[in-house]
């Protein structure tokens, strides 16, 4: 018998054993490849949404920024605790108006999204204002104030309504006389403006209001959390709405920290809305610049917390956010949005609602015998 036969048995048996073992090794290798392929497929499927979220975040961050969690600095007006405390009292004090009925909070109600309830505000003597009150929340991030941008900053804006006959119907002299008549206010102005001999002035009134309003920011919205890297902060519909917001071109006007408020645009680029939405008599920024190309041009509305503050547009005539989205698609983008697209964009806009600051209604300084009495005269 040969050595092969002696060591391994019959040659055919040895060959069969070799083939069997080879098949086993082949099957084992194939199984390993199959398992590796399955694992790779699972990993690919599990990481695909993460990659998609990262891509969407990167796209959004090209034009949109999260609201910072700290109060921003304002030009030529240090935001100190003393100014903020004083400004808060001024914001809620109706005695700065001629009637002593209207305060800043009347038209910019902090409990209802920083706006009032109606299409246009009701001011002195039940007069109706010409435009919808803009929100005071996050207004510090706007390029300028008012729909037409006629106030460069919140200091300038603060001086406008108090003097407007259709709003608070007061004067700088009335404001200073009222504040100077109350010792508590005088003491608070001295704390807020310690280096001034006579700190109770109309300019300092405006600076204190600006300091308080600069604190009215609403960070940590679902959208902010998404921009900061949390892919789970938005659900599928909200992400679809954000994608549409970017793809359809909404972001061309509504960009920056405030998702708007950064520049001026004509209302009715493609199709002019009806006269109820775009009143012919209100020519927007033209009233400020007197430039023909600025007719019916308005500052892009900031969309932060937009779900909280119907009705919409400067005319305040659209009560449904979905309808407002449709109007903007038709008038600005040449896009007839489908029902689902409108719903998806509205879902995204809902993610812009941030954490509103907790504001406790203050107890105001007590009037004295020298405090001006209210007047309803025009």
Query: H-helix or E-strand containing 265?
Result: strand 264-266
**CB distance 167 to 124 below 8 Å:** yes
The whole-angstrom separation of Cα 301 and Cα 101 is: 28
| Burial class for 266, CB neighbours closer than 10 Å (0-12, 13-18, 19+) | middle
Compute and round to an integer the Cα radius of gyration of the chain. Answer: 32
39: its two tokens: 């694992």
218: its two tokens: 């609403």
The whole-angstrom separation of Cα 325 and Cα 350 is: 12
Judge whether 238 counts as a catalytic residue. Answer: no
231: its two tokens: 């892919």
Per-residue buried b or exposed e for 160-190, using 16+ beta carbons within 10 Å of the residue's own CB: ebbeeebbbbbeeebbbebbbbbeebeebbe
CA distances (Å), origin 81, targets 84, 86, 188, 200, 214: 5, 9, 11, 17, 12
SS3 state of residue 264? strand
- CA atoms in the 13 A half-sphere facing the CB of 201: 10
User: 253 CB contacts (<8 Å, ≥6 apart)?
Assistant: 260, 263, 265, 300, 332
327: its two tokens: 């109007």
The whole-angstrom separation of Cα 69 and Cα 219 is: 6
Going by the DSSP 8-state scheme, the letter that residue 272 receives in this structure is P
| φ, ψ (nearest 5 deg) of residue 346 | -60, -40
| φ, ψ (nearest 5 deg) of residue 12 | -65, -35
- CA proximity to 351, closest of 175, 233, 182, 265: 233
- Of the residues 167, 210, 213, 342, only one is catalytic, namely 167
Q: Which residues pair with 64 in a beta bridge?
A: 256
List residues with catalytic annotation.
Answer: 167
């Amino acid at each position: 018998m040969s050595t092969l036969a002696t060591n391994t048995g019959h040659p055919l048996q040895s060959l069969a054993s070799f083939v069997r073992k080879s098949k086993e090794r082949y099957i084992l290798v194939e199984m390993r490849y199959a398992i590796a392929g399955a694992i790779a497929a699972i990993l690919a499927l599990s990481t695909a949404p993460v990659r998609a979220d990262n891509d969407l975040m990167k796209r959004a961050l090209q034009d949109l920024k999260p609201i910072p969690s700290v109060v921003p600095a304002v030009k030529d007006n240090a935001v100190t605790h003393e100014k903020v405390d004083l400004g808060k009292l001024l914001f809620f004090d109706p005695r700065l108006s001629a009637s002593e009925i209207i305060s800043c909070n009347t038209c910019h109600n902090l409990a209802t999204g920083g706006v009032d309830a109606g299409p246009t505000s009701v001011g002195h003597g039940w007069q109706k204002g010409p435009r919808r009150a803009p929100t005071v929340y996050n207004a510090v991030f706007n390029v300028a104030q008012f729909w037409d941008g006629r106030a460069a900053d919140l200091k300038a804006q603060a001086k406008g309504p108090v003097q407007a006959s259709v709003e608070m119907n007061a004067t700088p002299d009335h404001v200073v006389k009222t504040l100077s008549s109350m010792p508590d206010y005088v003491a608070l102005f001295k704390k807020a403006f310690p280096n001034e001999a006579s700190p109770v002035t109309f300019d300092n009134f405006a600076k204190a209001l600006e300091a308080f309003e600069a604190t009215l920011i609403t960070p940590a919205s679902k959208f902010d959390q998404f921009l900061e890297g949390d892919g789970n902060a938005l659900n599928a519909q909200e992400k679809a709405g954000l994608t549409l917001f970017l793809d359809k071109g909404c972001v061309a006007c509504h960009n920056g920290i405030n998702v708007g408020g950064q520049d001026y645009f004509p209302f009715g680029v493609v199709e002019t809305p009806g006269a109820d939405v775009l009143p012919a008599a209100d020519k927007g920024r033209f009233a400020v610049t007197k430039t023909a190309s600025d007719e019916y041009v308005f500052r892009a509305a900031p969309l932060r917390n937009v779900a909280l503050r119907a009705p919409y547009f400067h005319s305040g005539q659209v009560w449904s956010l979905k309808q407002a989205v449709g109007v903007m698609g038709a008038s600005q983008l040449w896009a007839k949005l489908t029902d689902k697209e409108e719903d998806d964009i509205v879902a995204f806009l809902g993610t812009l609602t941030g954490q509103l600051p907790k504001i406790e209604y203050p107890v105001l300084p007590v009037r004295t015998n020298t405090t001006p009495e209210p007047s309803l005269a025009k």
